[in-house]
Structure 1
Amino acid sequence: MDARAKDLLKRIRMLEDELEVHVAIAHAQLGMHLQDGRIEFEEAVRRRHSAIKRGLLHYIVGARFLVLITAPVIYSLIVPFMLLDLSTTIYQHVCFVVYGIPRVKRKDYVIFDRRYLAYLNFIEKINCAYCSYANGVVAYVREVGSRTEQYWCPIKHARRLLGAHPRYAHFVAYGDAQGYRDELEVLRSELRRTPNV
């Protein structure tokens, strides 16, 4: 990777760190903080949240008919997501050990913390849990896939790739045959030093 690309990546990391600080400030302004890994809201905030919660009956009666009849279609994807989750977990526990690739911690991607929001009713909490699971599994699978790609084929595509994973920026340029031969073991070695996240 050339110096300009390295500089751009460094700036991106700095912006990500700045964004984390901004989010922490926003949480504090909302009366929320983390205490020993637990989410806590100030008492006045909890009372406001409870006052805003929509009752179940009002929530169901107020829903559009098409929303109600498409809900089973949305929830039918739970089985494929669970199979993807299970098969990816088995895959990395078998293959990553063989290749010396650090395993991805699933718990860092599949997070169920929205249940603590007092302004959500029971159905909204179930909906949030479903979305947390589905998007968490996709993120988890993406990280497992990105580590696999870095090990086996760390080559950028010829065309622009939308939504590339963070590892992609470090891959070898498309068509750079010598760079691929020179960098493959370097990228594999870097991957082996990746912390289990």
Structure 2
Amino acid sequence: MNERIRHILNQISTLEDELRTALFEQEAKMRYRIEGKRVKFERAIKEAHQRLKLGILRWFLTVPPLNYLTAPIIYGMIIPLVFLDMTVTIYQLTCFPIYKIPKVRRSQFIIFDHQHLSYLNAIEKFHCLYCSYANGLMAYAREIIARTEQYFCPIKHASKLLHSHSRYAQFLDYGDATDFQTKLNQFRTELANERKKNKNTDS
């Protein structure tokens, strides 16, 4: 990796730290706190949210009729989503220990917290839970695949990717054949070290 790319990655890391700080400040501004897995708003904010909640009967009247026709298609997607969830989880549980790849923590990607929002009615909360699951699952599966790619083929594409996973920037340049096997082993060693670090953190 050349020095310019390393510098850019360091800048990205710095910006991510700034983003985390800004999000923390936003939490304080919205006057809520996180206690374990629960999100708690100040009483005045919660009461204001409850006043803004749209009743279920009124909510049904605001839904465009065509949305009812698409509902079975949207919610029918739960079948392939659950199947994907099971298969990628089984894959990493069985294969990652053999490859010495650190397991992806599902709970870091699939997060349910919209049910704590008082301005959402029961149906809106259900919609949010479904979307949180689907989007979180895609991120979870992507990280599993990203770690697999780092183990087997940490090489960038010739064409520029519009959106790449978090590990892609560290991969080898397309066509860089110099000491490929040595560099591949280095990537695998990094994964093994990451796995050891995670184990030490958990213990």
Measured against the shorter chain, the TM-score band is over 0.9
Is it true that 1:21 corresponds to 2:27 in the alignment? no
RMSD: 1.3
Does the aligned pair in 2 maintain the 1:155–1:180 contact within 8 Å?
A: no
CA contact (8 A) 2:92 2:144 kept: yes
- 1:144-163 correspondence to structure 2 within 5 Å: 144-163=144-163
Q: AA paired with 2:69?
A: I
Displacement of 1:93 after TM fit? Answer: 0.5
The match for 1:39 is 39
Q: C-alpha separation between the residues in 2 aligned to 1:36 and 1:140?
A: 21
Q: Which runs of 4+ in 1 moved over 3 A?
A: none
What is residue 176 of structure 2 aligned with on the other side? 176
CA contact (8 A) 2:38 2:116 kept: no
Instruction: Assess if the C-alpha contact under 8 Å between 2:38 and 2:113 holds in 1.
Output: no
- For 1:171, the aligned partner's letter is F
Query: Does the Cα contact within 8 Å between 1:31 and 1:41 map onto a contact in 2?
Result: yes
Residue pair 1:53, 1:118 contacting (<8 A) in 2 also? yes
1:72 maps to amino acid: P
SS at match of 2:154: coil
**Number of equivalenced pairs:** 197
- Give the distance between the partners of 1:21 and 1:151, measured in 2 at CA: 33
Which amino acid letter does the alignment assign opposite residue 78 of structure 2? I
**AA partner of residue 57 (structure 2):** L
Deviation track 1:159-183 (CA, whole Å, cap 9, x = no partner) reads: 0012100100000000001153331
Aligned-partner residue type, residue 178 of structure 2:
Q
Judge which range, 33-42 or 105-114, deviates more: 33-42
**Residue 178 of structure 2: SS of its match in structure 1?**
helix
Is the CA contact (8 Å cut-off) linking 1:54 and 1:119 kept in structure 2? yes
SS of equivalent residue, structure 2 residue 194: coil
Tell me if structure 2 keeps the 8 A contact 1:109–1:139.
yes
Q: Distance in 2 between matches of 1:35 and 1:149?
A: 36
Identity value in percent: 45
Contact 1:172 1:179 in 2 (8 A): no
Give secondary structure in 2 for the equivalent of 1:39.
Answer: strand
Amino acid at match of 2:184: L
1:131 & 1:180 partners in 2: Cα distance?
41
Deviations 1:5-43 (A, max 9, x none): 111001001101101111111111111122345311111
Structure 1 residue 69, shift from structure 2 partner: 1.3
Contact 1:102 1:194 in 2 (8 A): yes
Contact 1:32 1:40 in 2 (8 A): yes
Q: In 2, Cα distance between the equivalents of 1:63 and 1:180? A: 56
In 1, distance between residues paired with 2:105 and 2:35? 22
1:62-141 equivalent positions in 2, closer than 5 A: 62-141=62-141
Distance 1:179 1:61, change over 3 A: farther
Q: Is 1:167 aligned with 2:158?
A: no
- Amino acid paired to 1:178: T
Instruction: Tell me the distance in 2 between the aligned counterparts of 1:164 and 1:193.
Output: 23
- Indicate if the aligned counterparts of 2:49 and 2:119 stay in contact, CA closer than 8 A: yes
Alignment gaps of 5+ in structure 2: none
Q: In structure 2, what is the Cα distance between the partners aligned to 1:79 and 1:194?
A: 33
- Matched residues in 1 for 2:103 and 2:66: separation? 42
